[in-house]
A = this chain, B = another copy of it.
Amino acid sequence: MQDTLTKLKNRDKEIQLLSHTIALLGWDQETCIPEKSVNERAEQISLVEGLIHDRVTSEDTGELFSLLGADERNPAGAPGLSGNDAAFIREFYRIYKKRMKLPKELVTEFAKVTSLAQAKWAEARSKSEFGIFAPLLERIVDLTRKKADCMGYSLDPYDPLLDDFEPWMKNSELASIFGKLEPELSALAVRIAEKSGRVAPVAVDGEFDERKQREISESIMKMMGFDFGSGRIDVSAHPFTATLGSKDVRITTRYITSDPVSNVYSTIHETGHALYEQGFGDELYGTLLANGASMGLHESQSRLWENMIGRSRGFSARILSLLKDAFPAEFANVTPGDFYTRMINRVKPSFIRTESDEVTYNLHIILRYNLETRLVRGELAVADLPAAWKAESRKLLGIEPSNDSDGALQDIHWSFGSIGYFPTYALGNLYSAQFYAKLVEDVPDADGESGSFADDTIADILCWLREKIHSRGCTLTAADLCGKVTDAPLDPNFFMCYLERKYGDIYGL
């Protein structure tokens, strides 16, 4: 048994080394690559992806799982395996099983169509012409439905798709969470809208030097505990976090010279992701268990730092000092109160998800979720998507975009074929609030309203996250981890309470 397990671990080690190599190929593509090399880079990535696929699905991988007693009924292998070993088999077998069910032609076809689709989506969006993207999106929806059919499901074709990003969660659970969340969020948004006059926006004017913005990013990362010995920060068009090795976690940002606050919160967000990746237990080094428990869990780590901590009174006062040090003239008249209330926590329905506030953000997600589940079930035709988007937007946000660039063409995700991804953003917000409530019990100074955010407190917060969440990697499923950390299953009520308290105060509800 131990021998077989070692063989499976060696197989996994190769896969992890190759996955990190793909991460480097991808990171370099977003940060460094010369323009003429993009097509060949796609070939390099696709070749290495094929090597991973071969290793996951090879006959002897299957034999190893048989020998370990892993099957549909015992996804974590035969009884008697210890915690991390069982978790290792559970996660590896989950991936193996899904990959085995996908015919190689479908995988190749999917890769081809989505690679074409990205360029078409960009063109369609820039021209705001949905028709340019529609034929490819039809192919993508069609292939996604085929994928779901191949992977199999008992109730809902959305289940295996969601599982790609939020392992082990079923759509029935998600639907029930969103069903509870939506009316409460909408009601809160309406109450805030009625008081919107209370909070007039404040903006800063000027040309904010990139070098100084970069220094602010680095100060924040150091303050949060990012280890520059095993990571770095670079620039890309869209910020992201990439793991190129067990000790190589890189974030990116972009510096907008007219707006130094954008980079600040993007850096906090990505550093939140990066701290998770830098915090996996040493015993998980180089294995598939050195991964986030789910995309939602991962997002909870970025959002907890970005919103619960980063947009709190105490922490945002520290951010403001950094901004005042770097740009004294421009921020001279901004008080901590103004910064908190009128710059970083204003609530205002907008068309664009990435620019939206904490209150309306999840409504943007529910909008996309409502549409993509209907697409997958064949209840909505791609041709009808733009109109359906507008209708959902009016229903959920009370506003309707005038063009498709701000509507059905807004996000890149569907062009990647990432159907089932959007909900993890909302789950991240919900998890973050639930973790945060527990964190404040254990580390009272982490409280957003009254807490101190001295260096010691920040260190205590990271320490708590490391112990309770980061160090565990994906040894526990997201649901088990949530239960273990908070003594409760995922419950949107934590998030609503957090919002009620914070925005009740700001808007005098």
Contact = CB atoms under 8 A, between A and B. Distances in A.
Interface of A: 14, 17-18, 20-21, 24-25, 28, 32-37, 40-41, 43-44, 47-48, 51, 227-232, 244-248, 286
Contact of A40 (B34, B36, B41, B246): B246
B21 A248 contact: no
B21 A245 contact: no
29 contacts: A17-B43, A17-B44, A17-B47, A20-B40, A21-B21, A21-B25, A21-B44, A21-B48, A24-B28, A28-B28, A33-B248, A34-B228, A34-B229, A34-B230, A34-B231, A34-B247, A35-B230, A36-B229, A36-B230, A36-B247, A36-B248, A37-B244, A37-B245, A37-B246, A37-B247, A40-B247, A40-B286, A41-B248, A44-B245
In the A-B complex, the 5 residue pairs with the smallest Cβ-Cβ separation, listed nearest first, are A37-B248, A36-B247, A36-B230, A37-B247, A40-B245
A244 B25 CA distance: 10
A230 B32 CA distance: 11
A250 to B, nearest CB: 8
B18 A47 contact: yes
Contacts of A229: 34-36
Contacts of A245: 37, 40-41, 44
A61 B163 CA distance: 41
A166 B35 CA distance: 33
B286 A32 contact: no
A231 B37 CA distance: 9
Contacts of A33: 248
A133 B33 CA distance: 38
Nearest to A35: B229
A41 B286 CA distance: 12
Given A44-B20, A48-B21, A32 B247 contact: no
